[in-house]
A and B are shown apart, each in its own frame.
Chain A
Amino acid sequence: MDDAVIQSYEKQAEALEGSVAGMDDLRAKAIKDFAAQGFPHVKAEDWRYSDLKTLRTKAFSPANHAGETPDIPKAFTDCAARFVFVNGRFSESRSDMGDLWQAASVRPLANHFMANPDRAAELVRGRDGVGMLNTALAKDGMVIAVPAGVEIDDPVEIIHIMTGADDCAAHSRHIVELGEGASVHIIERFIGDDSSYWTNSMLQARVTESAKLYHTRLQEEGANAIHTSKAYVNVGAGGQYHACNLSLGAKVGRFEAYVRLLSDESNATIDGVALAGTGQSHDTLTHISHTMPHTTSDQIFRTVADSRGKTSFQGKVTVDKDAQKVEADQSFKALVFDRTAEANAKPELEIFADDVKCSHGATVGDLDAKAIFYLTSRGIDPVTARQMLVEAFAAAALERIEIEPLRDALMARVGDWMAERKAKPIPENKSRVE
């Protein structure tokens, strides 16, 4: 990797000294680790489907506050609070604190460790260059702690907006902590203009006994953006992490979810849809660790790639030696619209217990020509027919979102995306399923 790039990031990390109480040591370690290994290469097993060469060849500067006020997208539904980050900075004036603060503790990352600096050590450091850089450069983020027994009814939106940010990056770090039996639905949205920015975001969560974290993500970055984000979640007994990710935007997009099921009956449900238009790449990596018996996980992913679009899914499930009676399901289906579209699936099961039920399935294909003919033979034009079939295909991975207006909004995104495509049925493709 380019030394100048590393030096630039070292300078950025140095400049952040003292910006977040308690984080200096962690920052120093993270930037050192980053300098030692740089950004992951496509040759690295986990990164074979995402090429970060843009990141390796030029350093992205810290993004400045935007000159003009970007439009804040309308909420999908009533929210307990809406937190807006512009170019990586928390914008209090654009946020709506709602009534969340009455039920939960809410504060920006910058103040979080002031009272208890040793808690900074609990921050996830990241095991690759992208994660390390997030740790080294994160300055802002939301820390939401919901006390035991409190269920936040309306969702909490975290909106990331990038504007006028050519060659700039935003590294945000959000922390969610749920006490026993608590629950909250976090909606993360990522939007931006056409500038060539990089969003590098991380959310870490602790879901304790019987708590529930719902996490719906809508990635609609600008056309020239790079989007990398990671979720690290630990789930206690009877707890649940229920996530759904819809990726539409960015040139290169990647979402990783690392979930550790730490006690009996804990569950991870992770669904996702990725829609790759021409020249786009969407990569999803999930790693669910079943460390204890009677833990369950369930994943449904559906992706669609148009000409020269690419979608990838790597789903790793590990079951520890004594984790008996584990159930883990994984389903990945991809549509590719022609032979230049690409879909990759890499399910990985590492099972060290003997009494478990694990399943995975992966298919790649074009839309069913018979179904298209059936719809058109009822008067539906081919473009609408394809749109209906793609919506139905994606619905399988979106229908577990419990908030109806949110689910409908995401479904509508799928319809709109299809409405922009043209009908061109060529069944060959260069995809592979391993």
Chain B
Amino acid sequence: MLKIKDLHVNVAGKEILKGLDLEINAGETHAIMGLNGAGKSTLANTIAGRDDYEVTKGTIEFMGQDMMEMEPHERVAAGLFLGFQYPVEIPGVSNLNFLRTALNSVRKLNGEDDMSAAEFMKLVREKATHLNMDPDMLKRFVNVGFSGGEKKRNEMVQMAVLNPKLAVLDETDSGLDIDALKTVAEGINVQRREDTAVLLITHYQRLLSYVQPDKVHVMIDGKIVKSGGKELALELEEKGYADVA
């Protein structure tokens, strides 16, 4: 589903990703772990197509298509979802308007008709309830005045509504209390199917006991230095990055 080869990325003129390889197949859940500053968010944002992240070398292939040729919104239509480490506040735009515009944009790019207002409301209410989000928050401006946990939950509602093929979730577990963590983990697990894949980015082992990954990768200084099964996460927790890598 996702094939990254020898990826080099510059941010503000400085090389952050320095030859990264990663391959994720349908049906798999991978986790990337690494200390702050390793380049995890840079990888996530590059996959999503942020234009100030300059790919200087390497390739990203998604669902058989060259991602470098696609604009961010086209990547979403092809089935990509990025859960932001720091979701953005958008004053003046309601969550509902945002979600509806997003969903219908994706449908349009895929040659489908708009979803009716009634059908949409039903879908969003169902997903919000599932993720323990107060339906009143849907009427509020996107992320404005939301707590850290509420923002992350809002990301999960967006993911559930858009129902992506590949979800890249950047530190979705940070800032959550244990109940919220369980809710979010359940939301992620629902998203795991034969035809989908999940890439979890985290620097704690915590989330991984609720969402068990098939593979764990250790990232240091812009490269994946070690890959293994889910036991690698526990090993990292015990011994620290320096010893494992």
Contact = CB atoms under 8 A, between A and B. Distances in A.
Note whether A and B form a binding pair.
yes
Interface of A: 368-371, 373-382, 384, 388-389, 391-393, 395-396
B7 interface: no
The size class of the interface chain B forms with chain A is 20 to 34
Given A379-B76, A379-B106, A392-B93, A374 B88 contact: yes
A375 B91 contact: no
A381 B102 CA distance: 9
Nearest to A392: B92
A381 B105 contact: yes
B133 to A, nearest CB: 17
Nearest to A391: B92
B76 A377 contact: yes
A404 to B, nearest CB: 16
Query: Which of A371, A380, A396 has its CB near the most chain B CB atoms (within 10 A)?
Result: A380
Contacts of A368: 88
Interface string B69-89: 001110011000010100110
Given A381-B71, A382-B71, 20 more contacts: A371-B88, A373-B48, A373-B88, A374-B88, A374-B90, A375-B90, A376-B49, A376-B72, A377-B48, A377-B72, A377-B84, A378-B162, A379-B76, A379-B77, A379-B102, A379-B103, A380-B101, A381-B105, A384-B101, A389-B90
A391 B141 CA distance: 13
B71 A388 contact: no
A380 B51 CA distance: 15
Contact of B84 (A374, A381, A384, A393): A374
A392 B89 CA distance: 12
Contacts of B92: 389, 391-393, 395-396
A368 B88 CA distance: 10
A376 B51 CA distance: 11
Contacts, number: 72
**Residue picked from B51, B73, B105, most chain A C-beta under 10 Å:** B73
B90 A382 contact: no
Nearest to B77: A379
A382 B88 contact: no
B101 A373 contact: no
Contacts of B84: 374, 377
Contact of B91 (A369, A374, A381, A392): A392
A384 B105 contact: yes
Interface of B: 48-52, 71-73, 76-77, 82, 84, 87-88, 90-93, 97-98, 101-103, 105-106, 109, 158, 162
A389 B105 contact: no
A379 B82 contact: no
A396 B77 CA distance: 32
Nearest to B52: A369
Contacts of B72: 373, 376-377
30 contacts: A370-B88, A371-B90, A373-B88, A374-B84, A374-B88, A375-B102, A376-B49, A376-B73, A376-B76, A377-B49, A377-B73, A377-B76, A377-B84, A378-B102, A378-B105, A378-B162, A379-B73, A379-B103, A379-B162, A382-B73, A388-B93, A388-B97, A388-B101, A389-B92, A389-B93, A391-B92, A392-B90, A392-B91, A393-B92, A395-B92
Contacts of B91: 392
Contacts of A369: 52
B44 to A, nearest CB: 10
Nearest to B161: A378
Nearest to B78: A379
B76 A378 contact: yes
Contacts of B158: 378
Contacts of B87: 374
A136 to B, nearest CB: 44
A190 to B, nearest CB: 27
Contacts of A382: 71, 73
A70 to B, nearest CB: 35
A380 B102 contact: yes
A380 B73 contact: yes
Contact of A379 (B51, B88, B90, B109): B109
Contacts of A376: 49, 71-73, 76
B114 to A, nearest CB: 13
